[in-house]
Amino acid sequence: MDIFKQLEEHVIRLFDEAKGSHDWEHTKRVYNMCLHLGKAEKADMEIVRLAALLHDIGRSEQDKNHGKISHEKLGATMAEEILASYGVSEEIIEKVKHCILTHRFREKTHPTTIEAKVLFDADKLDAIGAIGIGRAFVFAGEVGAVVHNKDIEVEKTKSYSKDDSAYREFLVKLVHVKDRLYTDEGKKLAEDRHNYMVSFFERINLEVDGII
């Protein structure tokens, strides 16, 4: 059994109690997108595959603590221990850790390697478009948020609250994603996903007002 198969089985077990917005299915989608982007960008696919599998292993703890723990930092530490147990070299571990530490949208750290940029873009692409909308509503349900409030005043709201709706996530984060990507292929895919999201929220606002 190769390391990737072993690691996949290891990671799946870590997601046993994960919430639906950041579960194994999310990691699997990011992994598949990383394969696509990584090949297009001629990245080191060993680094990309390892980082993709491990990038969200600290997320459950962040959710349990309502965002007070940074899952990328915890995940990088966990990844180091896991990869070392599989005999992965220190050099590769450090490169994987950089990918994990820089994959979040709202952090001040930025990916500097092509492998880290591939992971960043793949993770963000799963946050927009049709799948991104679905995940945003799932997350809103997880934190007990309202279904929709088209008149939301974002500056008066906070995350992990009843105001943390899918629409708030769109206004705060998702609408900006396409302009933050790094890879040419990622940017191309993001345009279509972005346009779909904009159309969706325009439509839901009209429905809420009883216009259509």
Sorted by where each begins, the domain ranges of the chain are 1-105, 127-212
- HEC states along the chain? CCHHHHHHHHHHHHCCCCCHHHCHHHHHHHHHHHHHHHHHCCCCHHHHHHHHHHCCCCHHHHHHCCCCCCHHHHHHHHHHHHHHHCCCCHHHHHHHHHHHHCCCCCCCCCCCCHHHHHHHHHHHHCCCHHHHHHHHHHHHHHCCCCCCCCCCCHHHCCCCCCCCCHHHHHHHCHHHHHHCCCCHHHHHHHHHHHHHHHHHHHHHHHHHCCCC
Q: Work out the percent of the chain whose per-residue pLDDT is above 90.
A: 77
CATH label, 1-105, candidates 3.40.1020.10, 3.40.50.150, 1.10.3210.10, 1.20.5.510:
1.10.3210.10
Query: Does residue 68 register a pLDDT over 60?
Result: no
The pTM assigned to this predicted structure is 0.90
pLDDT band at 144 (very low <50, low <70, confident <90, very high): very high
Query: Does residue 41 register a pLDDT over 90?
Result: yes
| pLDDT for the residue 64 | 59
Fold held by 127-212:
Methane Monooxygenase Hydroxylase; Chain G, domain 1 (1.20.58)
